Structure 1
């Protein structure tokens, strides 16, 4: 049976059940108990203490700190004084715990955790810069080790450059202070944003981003981290629960929930492939759709949005610059090569389901890559034909 200490405390905060109320009423039939109860209740409200845990264990511990129960009839002054002091101390302790716990929660909630770059990623950065296929911009001073010709110099933007995207007035004002990085046909870029997010920008692409994202707010909603993308990009987003990360495109928005994903706005549509984590995708005419890893969303020019399963290997390979495979079909390998180089590769359909194992390297010449594939297949002659750039 619950002890009377717990019943008294629970009655003060009006949390008694029917059985507990019956036990309290029975106990209060004694005049001395009634006077003790009234004194406790009176001094409790005087102290202004209303927050505490009412579980039996915690209540018993709290009462134990008071010491042995005194006889309220023989030592009423001492008992009342102890009750008043105990509740005030308890209030201070509870306030400290609440504030301290709140600060710990807030620190954790607003903590920004940059993505951990794998050796494949760091290797791709080194190889692409070494092959003169990419430039780089890091938020730290690590660019000191990179030749100056490969260090990106962001450009200012104008309002005219962002009015075509689906932005409201507040978003426009925030983004107007941003910078722009734009790649050329033969070059990619690796861009590290203020929060540690790493963006791999494809050729013929651009990203508009702020040099400093808005800080988290203790009061009210924090402003989101927002960028604009045109072309294609692979995002490795820094986790920050307090600030959304939003990618704006002409066709719609991608809302990140801590993840890796690929975005392409080429071919008059927006395609988004989720590699890991979770993202939301929406257009001007649709509600947000949540994607799971291995899914790809497509937003058409009219705003319609569709979601389907996708082979994400080609997106990971595009980002890392290397594709190791075992018994992969020619059809799949050609789709990866076409995506890497932005070229349409024609081939004999009789080869489509032939399989081969090995490693492809993105920064090799496309003709060398296709010649290696021909040798692996054991075919002679010109079985692959590279057409003009399609992107």
Structure 2
């Protein structure tokens, strides 16, 4: 065990750039033994280890090492030494150091507690104004208040059956930042609500149409009903369908409102324009210019959030961090505004820590991040 503490000390020296050449050799010699590598792996989170390996394999080993070592501002003599041994040792050394960073300091534990990923949660407001907090557990009180037609299970909130009512009762489901929630409406339509989103809907739909109001982002799998169109209204436009699957993003502070069609067909209407969409198309409404355009897109980029992934393709850093800020409930502060237009392509696992995402961004861009409380400083 004392050997392990010695090795841990060497990793700490490497992290703080205080390691000497003979200590690098000692570290590498220790890592050559299979039992030592296995012992070190057992001290780490297996899933994170695999993720690190996968990411590192995407890049040229020597180039990745130059980028990593370049950030240390080492003296030229030490840097040249690292470059000579990079081809042979860079992958296991960097792997070890990165894993050690993720588990070794109390500060990291505090950050993880503060910046943990979102989870299943929402606030349901009933017709009489009663508010109920929803999570992962069935809430018997809500079931009792609304009767047998309202159920809460592992899939979320469910309104079973369409019992016609003389007076339309409206409910509201709000998903706060750092949350997500799903519900099944009385007609069988499934709705997946993203963080910081709100849906207003009737407990039972009427005979003529099915209408809901959205603020934020939601993915809809609309139950087919040719006699009653399904209409989603936002502050800017409305989307009308019969039976289809689509994603609608209409956050109040975003410059664009995006309707992305996965299957079926939809009609998107705003005051000056009307667009019919086919699968793989998107209606993009620009709030600044008031124009709405039809684009060809990859739907996976816009709906993967409901399946546990953030998928980005040439995404602006500012837009990407806005998405992450809602899910991790953080504030983003830019010391350098010029980096907002940096482009990023890649997949981020939604339930991983935000620190992992930021470290990957640091490895692949010239941007650096610092975490203070619930604020991410971009520099």
TM-score normalised by length of structure 2: 0.47
- More strand per residue: 1 or 2? 2
Structure with higher Rg: it is: 1
